[in-house]
Structure 1
Amino acid sequence: MSTRIEGAISSAVAVGQGRGAVPARLASALDYATAPGGARIRPTILMSVALACGDDHPALSDAAASALEMIHCASLVHDDLPCFDDAATRRGKPSVHKAYSEPLAVLTGDSLIVLAFETLARQSHYAPDRVAQLIMTLAQRTGMPGGICAGQGWESEAEVDLSAYHQAKTGALFIAATQMGATAAGQDAEPWFELGARIGEAFQVADDLRDALYDAETLGKPVGQDDLHGRPNAVSLLGVQGAISRLKDILSGAISSIPSCPGEAQLAEMVRTYAERLTPVAPNAAVRPSNV
């Protein structure tokens, strides 16, 4: 599956880089922002759901997976900008604005967003109805009112609805992953909302734990961002052990929420595997003091 996902992303980015007379640095930045990737958890979940539902149009699943990951990568490029997190590193290397400049980082994120929807549109000849639904789902989980743009927008509000904030900032693309996987395989997307929402919530709690327990070298990105920017997080609200307990409860609920499908057992095993990966294990780590 990993080879399939990486191939799909690489092919989509190559289309976006174009041929002939193109701005070479921007073309290079598209590749820099997307490869090498992180865990690719969102496209992996999408592909796993598609396979569990039959995956009768693999090219469509590939396009959906690569489109979703490009949106995610675009969000990371923008998140790292000085106007947001001002992060110098991402995935163990300089962030895009540090490697290429702030203007090119903005253009890189914008280009990846547009390329994501172009990648889906190019599959219209396979199954127009499915492609239209995929585009709609990805758009809703990217913009306003309930997408990752809304998640970033909550950080500018005086009062934050924590549930809405987490579902938009982190949960949105996980909901997109489960729903787009089902849609790509010709299944109804609605029953897959809860699974995506629960996985997204679990990922947010796990990210809060990693931010509290690990150092920047381990994570490959700056730590302590929630404390630095005064954002709500699970560790500050529940403590480390409370957050770990909450994470386990969420993941148990995620497994029980999997809709009936031919590959239900395999999908449940995939969620269990990610549960183990998400739960932070840092035997020698101490919780860092706030604002350090």
Structure 2
Amino acid sequence: MDLLARIDKAVARAIAIGQGGTPPARLAEALHYATSPGGARIRPTILTSVALACGDDRPALTDAAAAALELIHCASLVHDDLPCFDDAEIRRGKPAVHRAYSEPLAVLTGDSLIILAFEVLARAAAEEPLRGAQLVLTLAQRSGMPGGICAGQGWESEPTVDLAAYHRSKTGALFIAATQMGAIAAGHEPEPWFELGDRIGEAFQVADDLRDAVMDEDALGKPVGQDAAHGRPSAVAELGLEGAAKRLKDILAGAIASIPSCQGEAALAQMVRMQSERIMPSAVRHLA
């Protein structure tokens, strides 16, 4: 089974848990809608790749961690698109959840996905309780306050924004979770994997800022020009297109250099290189 198929299967199993029993039909349907199709599944791909590089001796735990991380990410997208935040009508090339199902159901969908993520981890934790507890703690820390994605959203309401802290929380947090949870699932210490996740997260935020500035809605599958429209901090606003493109290239080089020594180090470095090529918008590659 290839990596994406493995992750999709894990996410589908998780959604089936949330749709069990006798649930309200439209909310149950919205859980699937919010997580499928899943795009590139970048965060769980990184998590699973790190676990594989570290031996992946508990694949069921790895799969649960990957699914939980993706559920949190999808929940954040559902909430981000709401009128009180980005007021986005499109996500992944189709109507955002609040447009397809209503604002109340979008709020409940995001909330349900967050709770389901921790249920999935709790169910898998019986196999390795210590690792399971570490996974729950890591995902909670990178999802909430003070340094998780909730904090990242909160920075947008501050009169003065610390761009580094904003990027680390809003985008970097779940990439740090990805690298650390992959290591934890395979029985390795998480701390050496912080820098890799932090650098990948910063790279994706800068790349997202660039895409928002130079791509169109049809190509991106979601509204563009959102940073400027909402007055949000961005690498492009701070550094300009050329400066942001060069910053992205430097961050990605540092990410590869930061990979801890492990049995699958070479394969992991190749995965990071592939993701690097994927996220650099073609319109600014000549600037880097």
Normalising to structure 2: TM-score of the pair? 0.97
Question: CA-to-partner distance for each residue in 1:165-189, whole Å, 9 max, x for gaps?
Answer: 0000000000000000000000000
RMSD: 0.7
**Mapped pair 1:229 → 2:241:** no
Question: CA-to-partner distance for each residue in 1:83-137, whole Å, 9 max, x for gaps?
Answer: 0000000000000000000000000000000000000000122100000000000
Q: For residue 160 of structure 1, report the CA deviation from its aligned partner.
A: 0.7
User: 2-side partners of 1:124 and 1:206: how far apart?
Assistant: 35
Q: Within 5 Å, give how 1:140-159 maps onto structure 2.
A: 140-159=141-160
User: 2-side partners of 1:251 and 1:231: how far apart?
Assistant: 23
**Mapped pair 1:212 → 2:219:** no
Structure 1: 5+ residue runs without aligned partners? 284-292
Tell me which residue corresponds to 1:190: 191
Q: Within 5 Å, give how 1:1-292 maps onto structure 2.
A: 1-19=3-21, 21-282=22-283
The percent of aligned pairs where both chains have the same amino acid is 74
User: 2-side partners of 1:124 and 1:275: how far apart?
Assistant: 33
User: 2-side partners of 1:161 and 1:268: how far apart?
Assistant: 30
Tell me which stretches of 4 or more aligned residues in structure 1 moved more than 2 Å: none
* 1:44 counterpart SS class: helix
User: 2-side partners of 1:164 and 1:78: how far apart?
Assistant: 21
Q: For residue 22 of structure 1, report the CA deviation from its aligned partner.
A: 1.5
User: 2-side partners of 1:278 and 1:102: how far apart?
Assistant: 31
2:257 counterpart letter in structure 1? S
Is the deviation greater in 235-244 or in 146-155? Answer: 235-244
* 2:39 counterpart SS class: coil
Q: For residue 240 of structure 1, report the CA deviation from its aligned partner.
A: 1.2
User: 2-side partners of 1:37 and 1:67: how far apart?
Assistant: 13
Q: For residue 267 of structure 1, report the CA deviation from its aligned partner.
A: 0.4
User: 1-side partners of 2:92 and 2:39: how far apart?
Assistant: 7
User: 2-side partners of 1:140 and 1:124: how far apart?
Assistant: 18
1:11 counterpart letter in structure 2? R
User: 2-side partners of 1:216 and 1:38: how far apart?
Assistant: 16
User: 2-side partners of 1:92 and 1:141: how far apart?
Assistant: 27
User: 2-side partners of 1:61 and 1:124: how far apart?
Assistant: 11
Q: For residue 218 of structure 1, report the CA deviation from its aligned partner.
A: 0.5
2:218 counterpart letter in structure 1? E
Q: For residue 242 of structure 1, report the CA deviation from its aligned partner.
A: 1.3
* 1:84 counterpart SS class: coil
Q: For residue 236 of structure 1, report the CA deviation from its aligned partner.
A: 1.5
Aligned residues: 282
Question: CA-to-partner distance for each residue in 1:32-87, whole Å, 9 max, x for gaps?
Answer: 00000111100000000000000000000000000000000000000000000000
User: 2-side partners of 1:217 and 1:260: how far apart?
Assistant: 41
User: 1-side partners of 2:23 and 2:251: how far apart?
Assistant: 46
Q: For residue 282 of structure 1, report the CA deviation from its aligned partner.
A: 2.8
* 1:122 counterpart SS class: helix
* 2:181 counterpart SS class: helix
User: 2-side partners of 1:49 and 1:266: how far apart?
Assistant: 10
2:255 counterpart letter in structure 1? A
User: 1-side partners of 2:85 and 2:213: how far apart?
Assistant: 20
User: 1-side partners of 2:241 and 2:232: how far apart?
Assistant: 17
1:152 counterpart letter in structure 2? Q
Question: CA-to-partner distance for each residue in 1:139-163, whole Å, 9 max, x for gaps?
Answer: 0000000000000001111111111
2:11 counterpart letter in structure 1? I
User: 2-side partners of 1:101 and 1:180: how far apart?
Assistant: 33
Is the deviation greater in 226-235 or in 168-177? Answer: 226-235
